[in-house]
Chains A and B, each alone.
Chain A
Amino acid sequence: MEFITELLSYMAENKENLLQYTFDHILMVIYGIGMAIAVGVPLGILAARYEKIAPFILSTVNVIQIIPSLAMLAILMIYFGLGFTTAVIGLFFYSLLPIVRNTYVGVKEVSPNLLEAGKGLGMTGLQVLRKVQLPLSIPFFMAGLRVASVIAVGVACIAPYIGADGLGREIVSGISLRSEIKIYAGAIPAALLAIFADTILGFMERRTKKRIV
């Protein structure tokens, strides 16, 4: 009980810092995921449309995902130096798999009947993609986005090791100072962020799914 009041008063005192860290954290995640969407959606579509290159694309993003996060950030640091940009690139790589894979599955999953209907009514291949396959793959994409966001919020916590900001700052300095309070003051908002992203995106996912299934 005492601990909680202590934690709360600490958080209240360092309100400004913590808010700034939260903001940085969110920004990092949004940039990383934004880049992952910009690259991952086209890759997913390509994989779905050209069966031949699908295994190549999918195994590449899979391999990236397997590299431990700390190792990945360290390697990126060698090339991109310390700081925000390197962290964003790391988050980008980590978000890639769920986004590429779910876009791929979403586009592939569209019933052959609907493809035939679109084609039979005189749509070009691109029109079938734009008017039929992509809209129908949105729930899958949203599910991928949700997974990617939760992962990115987590991975962003180790960003301070490569000189970026975010809630990890509080946690990392808590570790070196052996201050439980500092660790919690960083970890709790980070966990809340993850839960928040999961809930909001889960809600959106269900909404997009409603009509389609």
Chain B
Amino acid sequence: MIELKSVNKVYDDGFQALKNINLTFDEGKINVLIGPSGCGKTTTMKLLNRLVDHTDGTILVEGKDIQEMNPIQLRRQMGYVIQSIGLFPHMTIYDNVATVPKLLRWNKSKIDETVHRLLNLVNLEPETFKKRYPSELSGGQQQRIGVIRALAAEPDIILMDEPFSALDPISREQLQDELTHLQAEINKTIVFVTHDMDEAIKIADQIILMKDGEVVQKGSPHELLTEPKNDFVKEFIGTERLQKAETLPLVREMMNQDFVSTYVSESIDEALNKLINHNLTQLPVINNKQYAGFVTIKDLLKGSEETVSNVINTDQKTLKPSDEASQAMRLLKEQELNEVTVLTDQNEIAGVVNYKDISEALQNYYEKQQGVV
């Protein structure tokens, strides 16, 4: 995890490139910096590996102030894809990819294995390409090498400055997919700079939109698309994307917050009463404010037990408020239940969703859409 707290950057010539930046880049997330040329994306990125030092504020990496870390060590644990690719023209592709492993003195066989695996990862045949020089590769191929060079030493943090800008749309999509898959597997903290809003929306967990050295808005792609903060954000995203993003309502908007629940020490009879009075077939169970599972009418009717805690089910999948309607429908169908529980990040029950809630929300949505058209 990386945290920037009230960070400012004034270059030697007096130009203030960054103004009071506060950001958190979470582990396992792809954080995309986007904004017009010159807004400070590259500068922000270079602060992280100390190619540029910030003028004030604090930057913490895994809780440690980078100002107190050895910059060389810091950089070796962060992969870096520079904006201009920057492959070393006098080194073969093999040596380029092996740059950091060699600095770290890995043994030969481990380096061989890594270079092969990475070349395969970006669809470049190792035997063909490893002996070539950068000038013997196309622009797009060079860019792939630039990316895997940053991945070679398995850093926890990867900084990528417009890494896919020179690729044709197909390879670009491929690499974007590759990056999101990779991310799901290896849980790195990725900071990614781009000019391309579609790319940002596709890969980002968090988008940070900047302008003139300031953060204008940050949030999930969905948040930016559905709640753009001001005209600049709207303009930057573009009306077409905003319209397309009029997505189906989120679980947050359709869930029933006024739900009935039971708790672990409640007696079976009480719980059954609740079910019958409210005409329900299942109840979420609370233990010490936390979600503990659920009980169904069938379990309760088995009879022999004393309290809810004896018949509790814990295998139900739950939703987050930010999930989409489709996810809610999928879970209802998959689990053959009438109701799915929605949990907050703190594992407290935020609400429940049933088919009726979903169909009402969808109905509202379509009526509104038709009104608009």
- Residues of A at under 8 Å CB distance from B? 113-114, 116-124, 127, 131-132, 135-136, 211-213
Residue of A nearest to B102 (CB): A131
Closest CB of chain B to A35's CB: distance in Å? 27
The listed residue with most A CB atoms (<10 A of its CB), out of B82, B90, B149, is B90
Binds A, one of B72-80, B226-234, B341-349, B353-361: B72-80
B57 at the interface (CB under 8 A from A): no
Q: Known contacts A211-B133, A211-B135; is A122 also within 8 Å of B88 by CB? A: no
> Contact: B89 with A136, CB < 8 Å?
yes
Nearest Cβ distance between residue B27 and chain A, in whole angstroms? 21
Neighbour of B103 across the interface among A114, A117, A122, A135, CB < 8 A = A122
Residues of B within 8 A of A119 (CB): 51, 75
Considering the complex, which residues of chain B in the window 60-81 have a beta carbon less than 8 Å from any beta carbon of chain A? 72-73, 75-76, 80
Q: How many residues on the B side are at the interface (Cβ–Cβ under 8 A)? A: 22
Contact B103 A121 (CB under 8 A): yes
Q: With A114-B88, A117-B88, A136-B90 known to touch, is A122 a contact of B82 (CB < 8 Å)?
A: no
**Closest-CB distance, B203 to chain A (whole angstroms):** 22
Main secondary structure of the interface of A (DSSP, over half): helix
B49–A120 CB distance below 8 A: yes
**Complex: chain B residue closest to A117, CB-CB:** B86
Q: Which residues of B contact A132 (CB under 8 A)?
A: 88
B287 at the binding interface (Cβ < 8 Å): no
Residues of B within 8 A of A127 (CB): 103
The one of A114, A122, A131, A212 that contacts B86, using a Cβ cutoff of 8 Å: A114
Q: Is B84 an interface residue (CB 8 A)?
A: yes
CA distance A114 to B49 in the complex (A): 16
In the assembled complex, the Cα of A113 lies from the Cα of B83 at a distance in Å of 9
B295 near A: Cβ within 8 Å?
A: no
Q: How far is the CA of A113 from the CA of B90 in the complex (A)?
A: 14
Complex CA gap A18/B87 in Å reads 51
Cross-chain contact A116 with B89 (CB below 8 angstroms): no
Verify B89–A212 contact, CB threshold 8 A. Answer: yes
The 9 closest A-B pairs by CB, nearest first: A117-B86, A122-B76, A122-B75, A120-B80, A113-B84, A113-B86, A135-B90, A211-B133, A212-B89
